[in-house]
Amino acid sequence: MVFKFPEENWQVLLNPERESWQSVEEFFKVVKPKGDEVWADIGCGPGYFTLPLARRVKKVYAIDSSPFMLSKCLERAKEEVLGNVETLGCDEERIPLGDKSIDVSLLANLFHELLKPEDFIEEVRRITRERVIIVDWHPVPSPAGPPLEERVPKEEVLRFMEMRRFRLLEDSPVFPYHYLLIFEP
Ligand SMILES: C[S@@+](CC[C@H](N)C(=O)[O-])C[C@H]1O[C@@H](n2cnc3c(N)ncnc32)[C@H](O)[C@@H]1O
């Protein structure tokens, strides 16, 4: 079994301290979201990335397997009067979006939670036109995050993606405790 983030701890994901080690503004400097793009924030949780993204791009599909997380994300988007966030439930095998309907898919702190990464990444490829971004924890001591033994090292993700012919576009060291990898699907 893999470690699944306990949804009752959702507020941990919005702890203001997180900005000091996973700054969304620094993330944007690397991934350069554009105003005409449609993004999928897959495993969005309560929307740490979703809301700031929605202020920069045309539309964000906030996707999660947890209805509770989706309700928190939508509640927060409504509070901030962001009309371009649409929440969608998914399971491990199916993301309910059309082929190549998304410009950029973001999997932030999700990869290590996937039960069937092989199937899931093919679904991500199916829906994505331009870029797939994977952000996840290095297996090193950190102020938050899953148990070290549950984290997937960057080299393993790189091998996994390369075997499936995702082309690496960027490997950014922008975060101290996370890798940030950008692939062409
Ligand atoms: C650690 S949280 C990260 C949330 C958000 N991306 C962030 O960085 O703050 C992981 C999220 O992924 C969701 N999740 C786990 N497995 C999933 C799957 N197969 N498909 C979609 N969401 C999933 C969980 O419900 C949880 O909301």
Q: Which atom of ligand 1 sits closest to the CA of residue 135? A: 8
**Predicted pLDDT at 3:** 80
**Predicted pLDDT at 156:** 98
Q: What is the CATH number assigned to the segment(s) 39-184? A: 3.40.50.150
**Predicted pLDDT at 80:** 96
Residue 123 CB less than 6 A away from ligand 1: no
Could you count the other beta carbons within 10 Å of the beta carbon of residue 172?
17
Q: Which atom of ligand 1 sits closest to the CA of residue 92? A: 19
For the chain, the residue count is 185
Residue 92 CB less than 6 A away from ligand 1: yes
Phi, psi of 167 (to 5 degrees): -95, 125
Distances, alpha carbon 141 to alpha carbons 122, 135, 167, 177, in Å: 31, 17, 29, 8
* pLDDT single digits (tens) 29-43: 999 999 999 999 999
**Predicted pLDDT at 93:** 85
List the chain domain ranges.
39-184
Write the burial class of residue 79 (CB in 10 Å: 0-12 exposed, 13-18 middle, 19+ buried). exposed
Per-position pLDDT tens, the chain of length 185: 678 899 999 999 999 999 999 999 999 999 999 999 999 999 999 999 999 999 999 999 999 999 999 999 999 999 999 999 999 999 888 999 999 999 999 999 999 999 999 999 999 999 999 999 999 999 999 999 999 999 999 999 999 999 999 999 999 999 999 999 999 99
* pLDDT single digits (tens) 145-158: 999 999 999 999 99
**Predicted pLDDT at 84:** 98
